[in-house]
Amino acid sequence: MQRDIMRYLNPSLREIEAYSVEGGQQAAIKLNQNESPFDLPMWLKEAIVAEFVREPWNRYPDILPYRGMKAYANFLGVPVEGVMMGNGSNELLYTIFLACLGPGRKILVPDPSFSLYEKIALLLQATIVKVPMKVSLDFDVDAILRRAQEEAVDFIVLSSPNNPTGKSLTVDEIRRIVSSCDALVLVDEAYIEFSRQESALPLIEEFPNVVVLRTMSKALALAGMRIGFAIGRPQLIAEIAKPKIPFASNRLAEITLRQVLENYAIVTDAVSYILNARDALYGELVSLHRVEPFMSDTNFLIIRVPDAGEVFRRLSSRGILVRNVSGYHLMENCLRFNIGLPDENSRMLEALLSIDGSMA
């Protein structure tokens, strides 16, 4: 019998691709995944592991990781019922999208934005209303408001600061959207620690229809540990947590989070280094002729070059791995790279200076 396996599967799988990291995940100078360049100090890793070995590994963790939730809720000064902890914020995106979307439901997504939003929405057979950014890559708030109302969307996702553009909304702009749209608004603050703008967290007290998403993968340098949070009003969090995978956060993640939050000076020091390095590098790049940098509120920079494929290859040949984001709407010939260690940033700058000279 001739069997067509696609016939057995969700038809929306035909429209999506497996998540991939173009260029891979190995390089001498790896700047392509917006990670922190700093691993935790060994004394802190050892303290975390020492606590972890005393745990009962044969026992399930709590269904909801209460210890981790409590640590982060205390850190933010919100009630523990107002937070949901996940195995990375990606897991929470799946959870929240499952809670909000399905066939016949509409989601508004600014374009370009984090690719996972569209992927999950397609999988759930929701209708996607894309609202283009401005040519400057800034959010077009008026267009978001207009389209949200015209299309009567149920759900709006705003990555602010936004990956891959590096641009943010102000809290007032987010307030305008939350207050005037009859929709749940998810504000993904993966890069908020690097932003010139304030967090949208205070809006949770003002409005019932806002959820803020945070990750520990960027400023907190814990991408390998897989920790993320959603924050909202307790009643809303209780509802949107219903599709959550039980036991998704493990004991090690809870212990790591608590210990890192107790030593938060490590994070603030790293963030202030990254901000200084980002602004210094931007300052150097504006003087180049063929490389156009965009101001960024994140731990990465976007540059536009005459031929992104060619510059990507020339950087690769020097062992520098960046992300070619040319495929995104409005981002033709753009490359994205995160701030690295001082020596890595110098080598990146040196490479761009030499490429700029040879492209003249």
* 129 bridge partner residues: 108
CB 344 within 8 A of CB 332: no
In the structure, how many helices (H) and strands (E) does the chain have? 12, 13
Q: How far is the CB of 161 from ligand PLP (least distance, A)?
A: 8
Should residue 223 be labelled a site residue for ligand PLP when binding is judged by CB under 6 A? yes
Question: Considering beta carbons, is residue 87 or 209 the nearer one to ligand PLP?
Answer: 87
Which pair of structure tokens corresponds to residue 25? 């995940």
**# residues contacting ligand PLP (CB under 6 A):** 13
- Using CB under 6 A, which residues numbered 14 to 53 contact ligand PLP? 34
> Alpha-carbon distance 212 to 157, whole Å?
10
> Alpha-carbon distance 337 to 30, whole Å?
9
Burial of 305: CB neighbours in 10 Å, binned 0-12, 13-18, 19+ = buried
Should residue 163 be labelled a site residue for ligand PLP when binding is judged by CB under 6 A? yes
Should residue 190 be labelled a site residue for ligand PLP when binding is judged by CB under 6 A? yes
Among 37, 73, 82, 90, which residue sits at the site for ligand PLP (rule: CB under 6 A)?
Answer: 90
Q: How far is the CB of 353 from ligand PLP (least distance, A)?
A: 28
> Alpha-carbon distance 72 to 65, whole Å?
11
Question: Considering beta carbons, is residue 27 or 47 the nearer one to ligand PLP?
Answer: 27
Q: x-or-dash pattern for ligand PLP, window 105-134, by CB under 6 A?
A: ---------x--------------------
Question: Considering beta carbons, is residue 90 or 209 the nearer one to ligand PLP?
Answer: 90
Q: How far is the CB of 50 from ligand PLP (least distance, A)?
A: 25
DSSP string, 77-134: TS-GGGEEEESSHHHHHHHHHHHH--TT-EEEEEES--HHHHHHHHHTTPEEEEEEPP
> Alpha-carbon distance 280 to 277, whole Å?
5
> Alpha-carbon distance 324 to 130, whole Å?
22
Residue nearest to ligand PLP (CB): 88
CB 161 within 8 A of CB 167: yes
CB 225 within 8 A of CB 253: yes
Question: Considering beta carbons, is residue 61 or 228 the nearer one to ligand PLP?
Answer: 228
Among 217, 249, 324, 338, which residue sits at the site for ligand PLP (rule: CB under 6 A)?
Answer: 217
Stretch that binds ligand PLP, among 52-60, 85-93, 101-109, 279-287 (CB under 6 A): 85-93
Question: Considering beta carbons, is residue 197 or 351 the nearer one to ligand PLP?
Answer: 197
Among 36, 89, 197, 209, which residue sits at the site for ligand PLP (rule: CB under 6 A)?
Answer: 89
Question: Considering beta carbons, is residue 300 or 312 the nearer one to ligand PLP?
Answer: 300
Burial of 11: CB neighbours in 10 Å, binned 0-12, 13-18, 19+ = exposed
Should residue 188 be labelled a site residue for ligand PLP when binding is judged by CB under 6 A? yes
Should residue 215 be labelled a site residue for ligand PLP when binding is judged by CB under 6 A? yes
Should residue 256 be labelled a site residue for ligand PLP when binding is judged by CB under 6 A? no
> Alpha-carbon distance 99 to 33, whole Å?
28
- SS3 category, 212: strand
Among 32, 36, 95, 159, which residue sits at the site for ligand PLP (rule: CB under 6 A)?
Answer: 159
Q: How far is the CB of 7 from ligand PLP (least distance, A)?
A: 32
- At 25, the amino acid letter reads Q
Which pair of structure tokens corresponds to residue 69? 């939730």
Question: Considering beta carbons, is residue 212 or 291 the nearer one to ligand PLP?
Answer: 212
Should residue 88 be labelled a site residue for ligand PLP when binding is judged by CB under 6 A? yes
Point out which residues bind ligand PLP (CB under 6 A). Answer: 34, 88-90, 114, 159, 163, 188, 190, 215, 217, 223, 228
